[in-house]
């Protein structure tokens, strides 16, 4: 092992290797920064170059890219509130509020430094682990995977804030949306309304954009400020961010450890890791907590985890040829193109290459984070630009990103439909993370439950691993309850808690958006119950469960408000809906004129008409949008929705 | 194991004859006379995501096809994933130009839904012409606890029920499930695996008693298990010869094929409808597992140029060596031969289709929706 380690170190630090890895890092940063393009697009960019390259160099290039994507997408998560990929969804929770407070540089610096640490820790864990990981990965049967998804779902309780019932309803809706498509047990189609687009289920990236990015943008448009409303100097920001990471080094180490271990389990997507560590951080953090409103620990935790997770995902990919994540799946394809076959033989015959992969991963993490740190300050200046000028750029980016999911117009209409739900949720304070976690975990929860019962019967739930994880779930749910009980008995502790700003208002609030959501969800429950009535027992049991959770949650939230005499809250809805309609208009126009023309024209019209920008500014931004779209088209051989105007110009 | 792998090349006898025939039919001096009209850029639609088996095959083939065509056109891969490859294939069917610049790469999961009249399928293989097709074989293996050789394992599996991890009821493993049933094995499928690799993990964890892998995956990931005594090979699916008869797989000459085992049972013949159904799906999903197609109306001169270029590939040792990693030691099928095989493979009579649907429903409670 030491021998292979040294050989690979020599290889990694050779000039050619560094050169190719640097190239991979640059591509990774580019696709990371542009939302919607994840590892999949990056690999598509690099795969054609692989032929004829020596495996060591090619692996360096691929790993350079794989390592940096979860670093680069932090830019849009923090600065624009757009989750760049599924790995950065939790980063949005606190990163974007920090940017709004004028602390974008601090958030970015923390994020990049913790990414760096996470990546290096992940690589170190991987180094020794790769030799002994086989039994551990094999120990995770479908039963353990199922209870792990339950652990993820338990985090909903942590993240749904003041109203547990609203969180429950939101999670139920997420689960139901995640059940659209085919039933894993029987292959039956369900809830797809005979729409071709829905046969495959809704893509995660579209839901992520819709639920987080759209409502934020619409709110910003209504307020028309720059993203950073408090103009604190960016100068201290990044030193402060580095200090934050140093202060929270324990958290970084723990989250990186969790990330790399969860990453090794094939089948659990990387998108779970950031939520798990986010919830872990918000639960265990000491002192004042502002999670969801700009707590730096809410950035540090998921960012240290997601790079470590990318390292961990290499374990099943290299050892079993079973990819641990979407990016790893494409990496696997790259290996096959290079003539390398992942499997046990990677350790016996290609141990040096295996370590080249791991060390490239570590080095690329350092390189990528360093590059991002250098870029952080200039890029953070973006937040000082008045938002109305940025709005068309961001809107185009979101439409571009959503369209990359399946490249059908369905992506846009789904974006708008789920976006409307996101707007309502944001208005009424319903937990959007709870919804997203439900959606992310729905397919896994159903498949693993079905598989573990089929494979092992009821004894599946008596396995030691399962019992341990079930114990963790109980602990996560019961511990705060116990704490509250204990603190009630000690009047001193109560006094201490009252002073903390965390304390939620005792009386729940209710408004017309809440009413709309409760009625809407109950109607949806009835309609979808009717829709799945023809399914077999196995195909229908999971959506029925989701519907029940959603309906009971919605009903209880209304009941709670009524019984506890909720304060009626004004929840204005007109303005956001108007913007949504405007966006719908843009989408329709884009499908008629063609995306490139429509986006360019609309941007120009918006900048002149709404933002009252100067001619030169409006022209420059519109031209930039067109150049970006056309450039991406050429680079990635993309097809946009084309209409008569695009055809006329010959795009 | 790795060293053995690279030296295991058994020429497929039947297919070689067919190829020799095809080569003999080509006009002399075909190499030099490539028409000017081959477009500078060829666009290959791959209805799967990046990095999957079909995508890797397409990228691999695009490299070699680009090299084999005299003008060395740029070949662009356009991934259009969704609907288990139905979405992208539908799009190609509706939109592709027949000017020779557009090609499609399909796989078993594109072919099976068409055979089963899946309501989502809008495409028709009769409107396409194959350029080159790659066959694959596959091996079924079992936990060593059931015995040390095929006969004892089969006997054990007829007595005690066991699990088999599958992706979907109508996917690549369907002929394998049918094979289990036709051999009278008490194999219960568990659906919902996202890949064959996940199915193999379920086997390695001991959750599944039997498993199946295509040849290249078998060599890289199952052969070490067999050596370590953690898996025992049971039977192969075999390969199809030029007369459409299934024979022993050249990669596994010592393993009996399913067909041998089935026909050895008393009262069974090739005329059984169940066997014929197996044969059809095997032909379409394995004998022609990956296909490179162009629209039928593509100018004949271009089709000829593409097929000629493709025909040079199986003669190149470097191509064959590289192809072994992708699909195992099988020689690709080119041109007219591929067209003939495709025609016969894709035609499933109504009676046979109904048989499959009834079988899945009555035996496993799976409802297949058809048009």
User: Mind spelling out the 3-state secondary structure of chain B?
Assistant: CHHHHHHCCCCCHHHHHHHHHHHHHCCCCCCCCCCCCCCCEEEEEECCCCCCHHHHHHHHHHHHHHHHCCCCCEEEEEECCCHHHHHHHHHHHHHCCCCCCEEEEEEHHHHHHHHCCCCCCCCCHHHEEEEEEECCCEEEEECHHHCCCHHHHHHHHHHCCEEEECCCCCCCCHHHHHHHHHCCCCEEEECCCCCHHHHHHHHHCCCCCEEEEEHHHHHHHHHHHHHCCCCEEEEECCEECCCCCEECCCCCCCCCEHHHHHHHCCCCCCCCHHHHHHHHHHHHHHHCCEEEEEECCCCHHHHHHHHHHHHHHHHCHHHHHHHHHHHCCCCCEEHHHHHHHHHHHHCCCHHHHHHHHHHHHHHHCCCCCCC
Report how far apart, in Å, the C-alpha atoms of A347 and of each of A144, A339, A583, B203, B229 are.
Answer: 26, 15, 52, 21, 19
Q: Which of residues 239-278 of B touch A (CB under 8 A)?
A: none
Contact residues, chain A, for B219 at CB < 8 Å = 341
Closest CB to A450: pick one of B192, B325, B326.
B192
Question: Could you say which residues of chain A have pLDDT below 70?
Answer: 36, 84-87, 161, 229-236, 267-271, 488-507, 651
Contact A445, A146 (CB under 8 A): yes
Q: In the predicted model, what is the mean pLDDT of residues B304-312?
A: 95
- Which of B3, B201, B219 best tests the A interface by mutation, with the highest count of A CBs <10 A? B201
Yes or no, beta carbons of B190 and A199 under 8 Å apart:
no
Is the pLDDT assigned to residue B53 strictly greater than 90?
Answer: no
**Partner-chain contact A196 B221, CB within 8 Å:** no
Give the residue carrying structure tokens 């499928």.
B189
Q: Are the beta carbons of A422 and A215 closer than 8 angstroms?
A: yes
Inform me whether the C-beta atom of residue A454 falls under 8 Å from chain B C-beta atoms.
Answer: yes
A:120-139 residues touching chain B, CB 8 A cutoff? 137-139
Q: Is the dihedral of CA A104, A106, A112, A114 positive or negative?
A: negative
Beta bridge partners of B107: B290
User: Residue A86's pLDDT is what?
Assistant: 67
Nearest-Cα distance to chain B for A452, in Å, is 9
Q: What is the pLDDT of residue A84?
A: 67
Residues of chain A neighbouring B169 (CB-CB closer than 8 A):
186-187
- Asked if B367 and A266 come within 8 Å (Cβ–Cβ), the reply is no
Nearest residue of chain A to residue B76 (CA atoms): A637
Tens-digit pLDDT profile for residues B177-187: 999 999 999 99
Indicate whether B285 pLDDT > 90: yes
**Dmax of chain B from CA atoms?**
65
pLDDT higher than threshold 60 for residue B27: no
Kind and range of the H or E run holding A568: strand A567-569
B67 touches A: beta carbon within 8 Å: no
CA distance A307 to B175: 41
Q: Is B201 on the interface with A (CB under 8 A)?
A: yes
State the pairing for strand pair A509-511/B102-107.
Answer: unpaired
Predicted local confidence at residue A271, as pLDDT: 67
Q: Looking at the complex, does the CB of residue B188 fall below 8 Å from at least one CB of chain A?
A: yes
pLDDT of residue A233: 58
CB < 8 Å to A324, chain B: none
3-state class of A604 per DSSP? helix
Write out the two tokens for A520. 């809407």
The rounded distance, in Å, linking the Cα atoms of A302 and A309 is: 10
**Can you give the pLDDT at residue B6?**
36
What ipTM is given for this predicted complex?
Answer: 0.84
CA-closest candidate to residue B208, choices B226, B229, B231: B231
* Residues of chain B numbered 9-48 and touching chain A (CB < 8 Å): 43
Q: Which residues in chain B touch residue A406, judged by CB atoms under 8 angstroms apart?
A: 81-82, 87
- Pick A587 or B37 by higher pLDDT: A587
Cβ contact, residue pair A344, B224, below 8 Å: yes
Report the residue count for chain B: 371
Rounded distance, CA A542 to CA A426, Å?
27
- Which of B50, B85, B136, B215 is the best mutation test for A, with the most CBs of A within 10 A? B50
User: How do beta strands B128-134 and B102-107 pair?
Assistant: unpaired
> Coil, helix or strand for A426?
helix
> For residue A54, which of A45, A42, A62, A64 has the smallest C-alpha distance?
A62
Q: pLDDT exceeding 90 applies to what percent of chain B?
A: 71
Looking at residue A575, its pLDDT comes to 87
Q: Which residues of A touch B201 (CB under 8 A)?
A: 137-138, 266, 320, 322
Asked whether the beta carbons of residue A196 and residue B120 sit closer than 8 angstroms, the reply is yes
B365 CB neighbours in chain A (<8 A) are: 186, 536
Given B78, B191, B207, which is nearest A185 (Cβ)? Answer: B191
- Which chain A residues in 302-341 lie under 8 Å from chain B, judged by CB atoms? 320-323, 329-334, 336-337, 339, 341
Q: What is the pLDDT of residue A506?
A: 57
Q: What would the pLDDT profile of A155-213 be if each residue is shown by its tens digit?
A: 777 777 677 889 999 999 999 999 998 888 887 888 888 887 888 889 888 998 899 88
| B134 pLDDT higher than 80 | yes
Candidates A114, A84, A81; CA nearest to A95 is A81
Task: Indicate the residue of B84, B168, B190 with minimum beta-carbon distance to A451.
Answer: B190
In Å, what is the CA distance from A92 to each residue of A211, A212, A354, A419, A565?
Answer: 11, 8, 34, 16, 33
Q: Least CA distance to A405: which residue of chain B?
A: B81
**In this predicted model, which residue has the larger pLDDT, B217 or A382?**
B217
Q: Is the CB of residue A78 less than 8 Å from the CB of residue A96? A: yes
Mean pLDDT of B117-134: 94
Per-residue pLDDT at A231? 60
pLDDT at A234: 58
* CA angle, residues A72, A73, A76, in degrees to nearest 5: 115
Count of CA atoms in the C-beta half-sphere (13 A) of A548: 6
Instruction: Give the three-state DSSP class for A455.
Output: helix
CA B256 to chain centre: 19
Q: If you average pLDDT over residues B70-91, what whole number do you get?
A: 89
Any B CB within 8 A of A636 CB: no
Backbone angles phi, psi at A491, to 5 degrees: -55, -30
Query: Looking at chain A, which residue has its C-alpha nearest residue B207?
Result: A455
b (16+ CB within 10 A) / e for B338-356:
bbebbeebbebeeebbebb
User: What is the rounded distance in angstroms from the CA atom of residue A366 to the CA atom of residue A380?
Assistant: 20
Of A115, A635, A119, nearest to A376 by C-alpha is A115
pLDDT at B10 over 50: no
The whole-angstrom separation of Cα A186 and Cα A192 is 15
Residue listed under structure tokens 């324990």: A250
- Picking from A451, A534, A642 by the largest number of B CB atoms within 10 A of its own CB, the best residue to mutate is A451
CB A368 within 8 A of CB A357: no
Residues with Cβ within 8 Å of A380's Cβ and at least 6 positions away in sequence, in order, are A79, A99, A104, A105, A108, A234, A237
Tell me: pLDDT of B202 over 50. Answer: yes
Q: Rounded distance, CA A225 to CA A232, Å?
A: 15
Please give the pLDDT value at position A488.
67
Restricting to B residues 222-241, those with a Cβ less than 8 Å away from any Cβ of A are 224
What pairing do the DSSP bridges indicate for beta strands A181-182 and A189-190?
A: antiparallel
Cα gap A302→A421, rounded to integer Å: 25
Q: Up-side HSE of residue A351: CA atoms within 13 Å toward CB?
A: 14
CA B311 to chain centroid: 19
CA torsion A167-A168-A173-A175 (nearest 10°) is: 120
Task: Choose the mutation target among B97, B118, B191, B361 for the interface with A, i.e. most A CBs under 10 Å.
Answer: B191
Say yes or no for a CB contact (<8 Å) between A200 and B78: no
**Beta-carbon separation of A333 and B52 below 8 A:** yes
Test B220 with A321 for CB contact under 8 angstroms. yes
Partners of A44 on chain B (C-beta within 8 Å) are: 50, 77, 79
Q: Give the model's pLDDT for residue A627.
A: 93
Q: Which residue of B has its CA nearest to A143?
A: B207
């Amino acid at each position: 092992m030491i021998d292979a380690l040294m050989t690979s170190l020599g290889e990694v630090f050779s000039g050619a290797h560094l050169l190719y890895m640097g190239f991979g890092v640059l591509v990774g940063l580019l696709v990371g920064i542009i939302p919607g393009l994840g590892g999949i697009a990056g690999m598509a960019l690099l795969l054609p170059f692989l032929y004829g390259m020596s495996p060591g160099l090619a692996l360096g290039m691929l790993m350079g890219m794989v390592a940096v994507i979860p670093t680069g997408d932090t830019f849009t998560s923090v600065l624009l509130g757009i989750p760049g990929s599924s790995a950065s969804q939790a980063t949005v929770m606190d990163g974007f509020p920090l940017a709004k407070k004028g602390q974008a540089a601090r958030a970015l610096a923390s994020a990049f430094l913790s990414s760096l640490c996470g990546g290096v820790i992940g690589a170190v864990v991987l180094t020794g682990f790769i030799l002994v990981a086989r039994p551990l990965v094999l120990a995770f049967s479908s039963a353990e995977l199922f209870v792990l998804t339950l652990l993820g779902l338990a985090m909903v309780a942590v993240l749904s804030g003041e109203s547990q019932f609203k969180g429950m309803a939101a999670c139920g809706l997420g689960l139901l949306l995640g059940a659209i498509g085919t039933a894993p047990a029987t292959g039956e189609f369900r809830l797809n309304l005979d729409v071709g687009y829905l046969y495959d289920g809704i893509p995660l990236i579209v839901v992520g954009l819709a639920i987080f990015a759209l409502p934020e943008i619409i709110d910003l448009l209504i307020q028309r400020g720059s993203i950073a409303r408090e103009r604190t100097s960016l100068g201290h920001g990044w030193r402060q961010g580095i200090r934050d990471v140093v202060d929270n080094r324990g958290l970084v180490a723990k989250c990186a450890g969790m990330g790399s271990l969860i990453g090794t389990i094939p089948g659990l997507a990387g998108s779970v890791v950031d939520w798990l560590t986010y919830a872990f951080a918000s639960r265990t953090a000491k002192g004042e907590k502002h999670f969801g409103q700009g707590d730096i620990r809410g950035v540090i935790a998921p960012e240290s985890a997601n790079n470590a997770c990318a390292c961990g995902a290499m374990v099943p990919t290299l050892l079993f040829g079973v990819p641990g994540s979407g990016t790893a799946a494409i990496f696997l394809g790259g290996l096959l193109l290079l003539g390398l076959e992942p499997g046990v033989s990677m350790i016996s015959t290609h141990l040096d290459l295996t370590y080249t992969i791991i060390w490239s991963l570590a080095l690329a993490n350092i390189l990528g984070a360093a590059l991002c740190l250098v870029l952080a300050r200039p890029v953070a200046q973006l937040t000082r630009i008045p938002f109305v000028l940025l709005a068309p750029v961001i809107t185009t980016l979101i439409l571009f990103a959503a369209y990359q999911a399946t490249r059908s117009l369905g992506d846009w209409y789904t974006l708008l439909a789920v976006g409307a739900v996101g707007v309502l949720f944001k208005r009424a304070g319903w937990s959007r993370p709870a919804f997203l976690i439900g959606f992310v975990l729905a397919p896994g929860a159903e498949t693993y439950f079905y598989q573990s019962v089929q494979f092992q019967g009821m004894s599946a739930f008596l396995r030691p691993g399962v019992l341990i994880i079930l114990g963790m779930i109980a602990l996560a749910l019961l511990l705060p309850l116990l704490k509250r009980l204990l603190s009630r008995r000690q009047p001193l502790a109560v006094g201490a808690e009252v002073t903390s700003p965390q304390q939620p208002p005792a009386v729940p609030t209710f408004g017309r958006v809440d009413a709309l959501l409760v009625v809407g969800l109950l109607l949806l429950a009835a309609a979808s119950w009717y829709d799945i009535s023809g399914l077999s027992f196995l195909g229908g049991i999971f959506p029925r469960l989701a519907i029940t959770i959603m309906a009971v949650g919605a009903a209880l939230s209304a009941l709670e408000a009524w019984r506890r005499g909720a304060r009626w809250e004004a929840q204005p809805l007109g303005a956001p809906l108007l913007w949504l309609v405007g966006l719908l208009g843009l989408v329709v126009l884009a499908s008629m004129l063609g995306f490139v023309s429509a986006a360019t024209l609309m941007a120009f019209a918006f900048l002149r008409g709404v933002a009252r920008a100067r001619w030169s500014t409006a022209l420059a931004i519109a031209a930039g949008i067109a150049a970006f779209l056309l450039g991406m088209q050429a680079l990635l051989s993309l097809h946009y929705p084309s209409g008569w105007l695009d055809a006329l110009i010959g795009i | 194991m790795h060293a053995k792998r690279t030296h295991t090349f058994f020429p497929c006898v039947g297919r070689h004859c067919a190829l020799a025939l095809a080569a003999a039919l080509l006009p002399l001096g075909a190499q030099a006379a490539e028409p000017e009209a081959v477009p500078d850029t060829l666009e290959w639609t791959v209805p799967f995501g990046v990095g999957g088996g079909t995508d890797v095959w397409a990228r691999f083939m695009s490299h070699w096809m680009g090299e084999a065509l005299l003008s060395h056109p740029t070949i662009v891969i356009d991934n259009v994933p969704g609907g288990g490859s139905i979405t992208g294939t539908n799009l190609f069917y509706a939109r592709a130009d027949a000017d020779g610049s557009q090609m499609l790469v399909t796989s078993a999961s594109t072919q099976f839904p068409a055979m089963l009249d899946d309501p989502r399928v809008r495409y028709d293989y009769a409107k396409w012409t194959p350029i080159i097709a790659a066959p694959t074989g596959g091996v079924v293996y079992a936990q060593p606890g059931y015995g040390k050789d095929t006969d004892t394992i089969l006997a054990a599996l007829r007595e005690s029920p066991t699990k088999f991890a599958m992706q979907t009821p109508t996917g690549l493993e369907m002929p394998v499930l049918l094979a289990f049933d036709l051999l009278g094995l008490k194999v219960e499928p568990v659906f919902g695996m996202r890949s064959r690799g996940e199915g193999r993990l379920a086997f390695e964890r001991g959750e599944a008693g039997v498993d199946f892998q295509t040849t290249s995956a078998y060599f890289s990931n199952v052969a070490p298990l067999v050596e370590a005594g953690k898996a025992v090979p049971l039977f192969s699916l075999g390969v199809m010869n030029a007369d459409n008869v299934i024979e022993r797989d050249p990669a596994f000459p010592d393993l009996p094929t399913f067909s041998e085992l089935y026909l050895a049972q008393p009262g069974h013949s090739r005329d059984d409808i169940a066997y014929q159904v197996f044969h059809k799906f095997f032909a379409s999903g394995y004998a022609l597992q990956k296909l490179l197609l162009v629209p039928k109306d593509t100018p004949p001169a271009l089709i000829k140029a593409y097929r000629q270029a493709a025909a040079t590939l199986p003669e190149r040792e470097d191509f064959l060596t590289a192809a072994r990693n992708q699909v195992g030691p099988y020689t690709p099928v080119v041109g007219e031969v591929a067209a003939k095989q495709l025609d016969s493979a894709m035609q499933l009579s109504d009676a046979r289709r109904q048989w499959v649907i009834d079988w899945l429903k009555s035996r496993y409670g799976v409802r297949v929706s058809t048009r």
